[in-house]
């Protein structure tokens, strides 16, 4: 993967974290009930699964597993670091913040359990056509 792609994925990961951080204010989702958080996490996991199929099916088969690895890395490690800085240090919850914020902790693992298996399941399939590459044959010769 090119250096620019690494920076782009890192920027996307940080942008996603920032958006979820802002959406979770004022109490970083602590203002919601546990069942509400569980439903939200389930729906978000389904969305992540659909994104995994979409993104990886568009990649060349020989790079799908590599792409799945890097997406998983850039959407978990920076998020964990940022949550540690915010929840662990700034909010003062220390190393035990993953227990209090279990709904964040789930997503430190979700991409690994979604993107890698999806890449493996897509082995042997061809790339889905990209927008602009689809051609229609209307039966003419």
CB 126 within 8 A of CB 108: no
Query: CA triplet 9, 12, 18: central angle to 5 degrees?
Result: 145
pLDDT of residue 124: 74
Query: What was the pLDDT predicted at 64?
Result: 95
137: left (phi over 0), alpha (psi -120 to 50) or beta: beta
SS3 call for 12: helix
Query: DSSP letters along 76-129, please?
Result: THHHHHHHIIIIIIIS--GGGHHHHTHHHHGGGTHHHHHHHHHHHHTTTPPPPP
pLDDT tens for each residue of the chain, 141 residues long: 889 999 999 999 999 999 999 999 999 999 999 999 999 999 999 999 999 999 999 999 999 999 999 999 999 999 999 999 999 999 999 999 999 999 999 999 999 999 999 999 998 777 665 555 544 344 544
**Is the alpha carbon torsion for 107, 111, 117, 121 positive or negative?**
positive
What local confidence, expressed as pLDDT, does residue 1 receive?
Answer: 83
Residue with tokens 């597993």: 65
CA–CA dist 27, 4 (Å, integer)? 35
Residue with tokens 């996603």: 16
Q: Where in the chain are the domains? A: 3-22+33-121
């Amino acid at each position: 993967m090119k250096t620019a792609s690494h920076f782009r994925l890192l920027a996307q990961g940080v942008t996603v974290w920032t958006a979820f951080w802002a959406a979770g204010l004022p109490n970083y989702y602590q203002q919601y009930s546990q069942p509400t958080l569980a439903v939200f996490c389930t729906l978000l996991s389904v969305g992540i699964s659909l994104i995994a199929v979409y993104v990886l099916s568009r990649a060349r088969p020989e790079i799908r597993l590599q792409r799945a690895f890097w997406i998983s890395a850039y959407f978990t490690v920076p998020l964990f670091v940022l949550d540690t800085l915010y929840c662990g240090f700034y909010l003062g919850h220390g190393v035990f913040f993953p227990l209090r914020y279990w709904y964040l902790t789930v997503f430190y693992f979700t991409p690994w359990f979604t993107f890698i298996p999806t890449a493996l399941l897509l082995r042997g399939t061809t790339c889905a056509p990209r927008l602009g590459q689809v051609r229609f044959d209307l039966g003419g010769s």
